[in-house]
Structure 1
Amino acid sequence: MSETLEILQDNLGKALWDTFFMVGVATLVGVVLGTALAVLLYLTQHRLFTPNHAVNEIVGFVVNVIRSMPFLILLVVLIPLIQLLIGDPYTPTGGAIALSIAAVPFFARVAESAFQEVDEGLLEAAISTGAPLWQIIFGAIFPQALPSYIRGIVLTIISLLGYSAMVGTIGAGGIGDLAIQYGYNRYETGVLVAIVLLLIVLVQVIQWVGDRIAVRVTH
């Protein structure tokens, strides 16, 4: 027990920081680029805007290809690319790059689903007023899709938190790395139990906060 506490005291702080760094960067990149892709997918398939079957199919295919790969396999495939970009892929920065690439297509589909929930009658009314496209997007689509959009961000953060634990399998840092290095390789069961409990608490807190925000912005 004392050894477990000593390991956690010496390593948990840095492991948490690495995890928050990787998940934070990946969430930011995933939400920004994923939203842009979602808007493109939504506009190119919706009958009220500028349907473009070819663009929609190509973008959708690329998104689906990345989403179809289990993250651990994607992580291994990306190691040469990450090595080319930053030199050492086995770092929190390398993990953040891998998580970001996984987050973009994941959130793109989540955000697209949120946009598809917007009532067409509202869009038709906005279009009939002669409002420009950017105003329709930010004045009609986003406000109406916001509750589902926020829940999608929460889902993405929780998924990335789980993915970040897998990054630990290649020694890139974070609480997954701590669990592998000490809880598994050194048979410190107490470390594994502590990390599992910590992950449960983190997920519950993130979900609770996200649900409260989503309720607040529901029209």
Structure 2
Amino acid sequence: MKEVFSLLIKDSGLLWQGILQTAYMVSVSMLLASLFGIPLGIGVVVSEEGNILENKAINLILSTFINITRSIPFIILMVALIPLTRIIVGTSIGTSAAVVSLTIGAVPFIGRIVEGALKEVDGGVIEAAQAMGANPWEIISKVLLPEALPSLVLGLTITAISLIGYSAIAGAIGAGGLGDIAIRYGYHRFQTDVMIKTVVLLVVIVQIIQNLGTYLARRLDHS
């Protein structure tokens, strides 16, 4: 009985460490990816033909970048970014190293989400703002983003959930987190109970994030 209790305590500490590592990877990469992905998505929309900052060359460059980077499987992207990761964080393994790949992998994803959300904004609202003399920056900051905010929240929620899945993949190759625990202990050491616990924890975390995102989107939707 004491051995079973000790094992449970040990597992609890191990799983808690995995949760913290996963939370670190997802939260930091989500923040950094948003800082780059949101402007990227805005740039694609406003540079389109007939939009407020029409520029076909810039639009082509941004769209091509998104299409190319989104087409690369994450596991291949992680391997390809090893040299860059070593330059940025000094190592290619661990949670901080995984943040580099997770961030770069999420940027184009967020870019497309932002693009889709902004395109849902009624064109009449933009035309009304232009008629009132609003400049492009005012249209972006006071019209496009506020109007698209509920859709943006839902889209970023989807991104966060995807990053949890990517972090599990990163964990399988030494990045830490719940994915690393599931592979190292659950699979390689044949500890099925540890595997089940990590899966349950991942499901719970995803449900919490999804419900929170849905709640915030509803609160922000004033239509």
- Common fold: TM-score over 0.5: yes
1:31-70 superposed matches below 5 A: 31-70=34-73
> How far 1:50 sits from its partner (Å)?
2.1
How many angstroms apart in 1 are the aligned matches of 2:53 and 2:156? 27
> How far 1:11 sits from its partner (Å)?
1.3
What secondary structure sits across from 1:171 in the alignment?
A: helix
Residue by residue over 1:43-66, the C-alpha shift from the partner in whole angstroms, topping out at 9 and shown as x without a partner, is 111513121111111111111111
Q: Normalising to structure 1: TM-score of the pair?
A: 0.96
Q: Which amino acid aligns with 1:144?
A: E
| Sequence identity (%) | 41
CA RMSD of aligned residues (A): 1.4
How many angstroms apart in 1 are the aligned matches of 2:84 and 2:10? 33
Aligned to 1:146: 149
1:120-159 superposed matches below 5 A: 120-159=123-162
Check conservation: 2:106, 2:163, Cα contact below 8 A: yes
How many angstroms apart in 2 are the aligned matches of 1:29 and 1:91? 18
How many angstroms apart in 2 are the aligned matches of 1:84 and 1:140? 40
1:204 equivalent among 197, 203, 207: 207
How many angstroms apart in 2 are the aligned matches of 1:176 and 1:62? 29
Aligned to 1:217: 220
Q: Which amino acid aligns with 1:92?
A: T
How many angstroms apart in 1 are the aligned matches of 2:13 and 2:89? 28
Farther-moved stretch of structure 1 (89-98 vs 76-85): 76-85
Is 1:8 paired with 2:11? yes
How many residues in Structure 1 have an aligned counterpart in Structure 2? Answer: 219
How many angstroms apart in 1 are the aligned matches of 2:147 and 2:7? 49
> How far 1:76 sits from its partner (Å)?
1.1
How many angstroms apart in 1 are the aligned matches of 2:115 and 2:51? 15
Aligned to 2:173: 170
> How far 1:120 sits from its partner (Å)?
0.4
Q: Normalising to structure 2: TM-score of the pair?
A: 0.94
Aligned to 1:77: 80
Q: Which runs of 5+ in 1 are unaligned?
A: none
Aligned to 2:107: 104
> How far 1:7 sits from its partner (Å)?
4.2
Check conservation: 1:39, 1:112, Cα contact below 8 A: yes
How many angstroms apart in 2 are the aligned matches of 1:207 and 1:130? 39
Check conservation: 1:158, 1:203, Cα contact below 8 A: yes
What secondary structure sits across from 2:134 in the alignment?
A: coil
Q: Which runs of 5+ in 2 are unaligned?
A: none
How many angstroms apart in 1 are the aligned matches of 2:121 and 2:56? 21
Check conservation: 2:53, 2:136, Cα contact below 8 A: no
